[in-house]
Structure 1
Amino acid sequence: MESTRENFRLFEPDELTPEERLERVIELLTEASLDLAKEESDEKPAIA
């Protein structure tokens, strides 16, 4: 996961352009989606 400072940048609109903010949001959503998919796959029993 990203450092606290990098996550905090998401809430510092003056430091990021709108394009950078959008890219950051997409990165965070992608990471969260991958984490969720991994958690869900770990919970399901393997089909033999």
Structure 2
Amino acid sequence: MSDHKERIPAPDEPSVPELEVDETIAPRPEEEIADALRAKPDLGDHSG
């Protein structure tokens, strides 16, 4: 179970957090392909 607690911003903080520097860079095509492949379960027999 996660210990995540909802953070309530201070009165002078925006309600939506700002993006980190590395989140402004678009993902590389191979990252998108890997994400798509991970989305499908691999049910094949890999014991042999």
TM-score (norm 2): 0.28
TM-score (norm 1): 0.28
Q: Identify which of structures 1 and 2 has the higher relative contact order when contacts are C-alpha pairs closer than 8 Å and 6+ apart.
A: 1
Say which one has the larger Rg: 2
